[in-house]
Structure 1
């Protein structure tokens, strides 16, 4: 197998240190050497450029492309899978080589990427969104109609549950369907018009059953959690990550620190809801009002969590906003007090650790898989970063 050397540039290795001059040698899909004056059989000229590890987005919905009610009911059932292929390709072009789908993608989509049928980031999937009746994942409307973002189908079982016994059944059903992680709603949300983000969903008993089932199969739990009490319930139950974390209080932050719980902020998500409303997307008035209400509290919570030392990984909730705009999140993280190096670390090695992939991805280091992003100019110039992505390599193969 040919040795490819990326030479003449600088390297951000994923450890949190600033970029430094170095060459990187790749062979058979792996990084085999990092240093200066290296050679190989083939060369990639990186003069004036910076190499980053392949980026992560730990919260996407690749089968979701529209959040408006009317758009959802007008598309044929199978259209979502073709949209997913487009969305995965757009995400890859951002330098994101690994994603965690937070409900929507089924095992077929993941396998299509793995088998090379469609280009895209490697995937971890949760398949469905575990929600109680009347909760964030219940798409019932006062008309009596249900218009879910992700309708159930054979590869994506219905995941509404009430009570510990139903929780056990649905957890096992989602794991059977191929879930790498179980996603649960422990509070209301913004896009669900009939609930409140500050209100809790599921009892500690229900959450304990979920976490027990996940642990028995070696799987983590991620929690859509926005209100403080629902966040604390999730942390006490042993979830691995809090998604959104809009209304964190001091006790919730201390619990997260004590339990080593991760925060995936998705700061851009409510911003994208407001953009959609301004563009005329047909959203319930309650949804728009909640999005306006949470933006400031969300940023304050993330700022305080970071200052306290809570572990943070990058996620966007893409699907709520357009796929292929994922890197907007980085500037918002920076505005919450994270240094540029902290932001890129959260998008590389920290995300890899959250996903249990930190022994093979998220760093530029010998032995790691050769996911590399070649960036023109300064990688800390976050507003310009999307247009500065020059090349993307996944497992040693140039994919963009």
Structure 2
């Protein structure tokens, strides 16, 4: 038996040494490995390849392992933004860009914004609306390692009623026929077609515009725009092909109709009511409140002249209502997943949403949990991201002060690792 044990030990040695060649150890002075649980001090995160191998007490060292010293930093999981638009950013030329940019132009803009987002500490995002060809190429390019950016789940173009928030609006009729959304649909059968065509193009989820929106160039309000049978057909078609549906919805009629149809989540939710809160809880649906987007459009409406009258009016009405909405949802026990609508706000400023969530009544820990544990569950990626635990991707950030004392410190991230690779240190 002793001889057998000796032979096995010799056989194992080369494998252990080989593993250490691809091993990195982070010495974390303060570690919030699982947001929602208490943080720990003086921890070692052992990373093998792109995933976390284990977390140990104290500062350990292994022969051949690279050591990253974050002993004077506050370390936590990479952040997740559940609502971004990487291909653009709200600006005075946005309407012109919508009819002059090609898919290639949108993809190139997305490369820049993806890098900015990663450097801000957001290692995973869900992109919920944009040029289909461009965003699929951007996602695939990041997965191949061709570009630097967060890992992405993408929806492509929004499924919208013709003339709805996700369709083109406010141009000459000839232009609108040329640039109409390929995912615009009318009636249950046509909406099934729109969903299936998006899935054929390899999107990860289906995004719908269940109500009017703030930035669409039309005075169509912010209430329900799909008929109930259209909503039901969209949700059913997506489920049959392994996708969930998330719904842009401001007005309460659209919020409740989408929840009753079985959507996975509501983006914005500005005018939700008590019935909405019951539906969220009964269905296990998520709210992505995007308070920062509301603050941003309200600021622009007050200080710039380039918004059209329709957009300006909606911006000044809807934007200021979103903070109170988030407070009401939080008090009602709704699952809140962090999301910013960046692209309306500036890319890289995503972490401003944390302070707004705290203003809405969340604790700093709850706000951080919404951007890690809860967001990973919302994106159906909890086996891979959201915490620093064995087997998960080594998506790790660090800041210079305690985010549980002042959550705004997350607006300045000192260290970013994604999948075991350091991008900012």
TM-score, length-normalised on structure 1? 0.93
- Structure 2 distance, partners of 1:51, 1:25, is 14
- Structure 2 distance, partners of 1:343, 1:145, is 46
Indicate whether 1:23 and 2:44 are aligned.
Answer: yes
Matches within 5 A, 1:142-153: 143-144=172-173, 146=175
Indicate whether 1:13 and 2:39 are aligned.
Answer: no
- Structure 1 distance, partners of 2:52, 2:171, is 56
Aligned residue among 139, 144, 160 for 1:115: 144
Check whether the contact 1:127–1:178 (CA below 8 A) recurs between aligned residues: no
Deviations 1:10-36 (A, max 9, x none): 111234124221221111111111121
Indicate whether 1:89 and 2:115 are aligned.
Answer: yes
Indicate whether 1:216 and 2:236 are aligned.
Answer: no
Indicate whether 1:317 and 2:341 are aligned.
Answer: yes
In structure 2, the CA distance between the partners of 1:13 and 1:281, relative to structure 1 (3 Å rule), is farther
Give the number of aligned pairs. Answer: 393
- Structure 1 distance, partners of 2:99, 2:335, is 41
TM-score, length-normalised on structure 2? 0.88
Deviations 1:374-394 (A, max 9, x none): 21112232333222x111111
Q: Secondary structure at the match of 2:152?
A: strand
Quote how far apart the aligned CAs of 1:296 are.
Answer: 3.5
In structure 2, the CA distance between the partners of 1:74 and 1:242, relative to structure 1 (3 Å rule), is closer
Check whether the contact 1:334–1:340 (CA below 8 A) recurs between aligned residues: yes
Check whether the contact 2:107–2:135 (CA below 8 A) recurs between aligned residues: no
Indicate whether 1:182 and 2:201 are aligned.
Answer: no
Check whether the contact 2:294–2:320 (CA below 8 A) recurs between aligned residues: no
Check whether the contact 1:106–1:178 (CA below 8 A) recurs between aligned residues: no
Residue in 2 that maps onto 1:130: 159
Q: Secondary structure at the match of 1:106?
A: helix
Unaligned runs of 5+ in 2: 1-20
Quote how far apart the aligned CAs of 1:80 are.
Answer: 1.7
Quote how far apart the aligned CAs of 1:92 are.
Answer: 0.3
Aligned residue among 317, 328, 331 for 1:304: 328
Deviations 1:91-138 (A, max 9, x none): 001110100000115321111111111100000000111111221112
- Structure 1 distance, partners of 2:49, 2:394, is 9
Check whether the contact 1:135–1:195 (CA below 8 A) recurs between aligned residues: no
Residue in 1 that maps onto 2:411: 386
In structure 2, the CA distance between the partners of 1:372 and 1:281, relative to structure 1 (3 Å rule), is farther
Quote how far apart the aligned CAs of 1:281 are.
Answer: 5.9
Which structure has the larger Rg over C-alpha atoms? 2
Higher RCO, 1 or 2 (CA under 8 Å, sep at least 6)? Answer: 1
- Structure 1 distance, partners of 2:213, 2:194, is 21
Check whether the contact 1:187–1:196 (CA below 8 A) recurs between aligned residues: no
Aligned residue among 255, 261, 269 for 1:237: 261
Aligned residue among 128, 131, 135 for 1:106: 135
- Structure 1 distance, partners of 2:175, 2:267, is 25
- Structure 2 distance, partners of 1:74, 1:221, is 27
25-34 or 192-201: which moved more? 192-201
Check whether the contact 1:262–1:310 (CA below 8 A) recurs between aligned residues: yes
- Structure 2 distance, partners of 1:74, 1:181, is 26
195-204 or 19-28: which moved more? 195-204
Quote how far apart the aligned CAs of 1:270 are.
Answer: 2.0
Greater helix share, structure number: 2
- Structure 2 distance, partners of 1:73, 1:294, is 23
Deviations 1:258-290 (A, max 9, x none): 000100000011222233345536211221221
Deviations 1:227-286 (A, max 9, x none): 111111111111110000000100011111100010000001122223334553621122
Q: Secondary structure at the match of 1:242?
A: strand
In structure 2, the CA distance between the partners of 1:240 and 1:95, relative to structure 1 (3 Å rule), is same
Unaligned runs of 5+ in 1: none
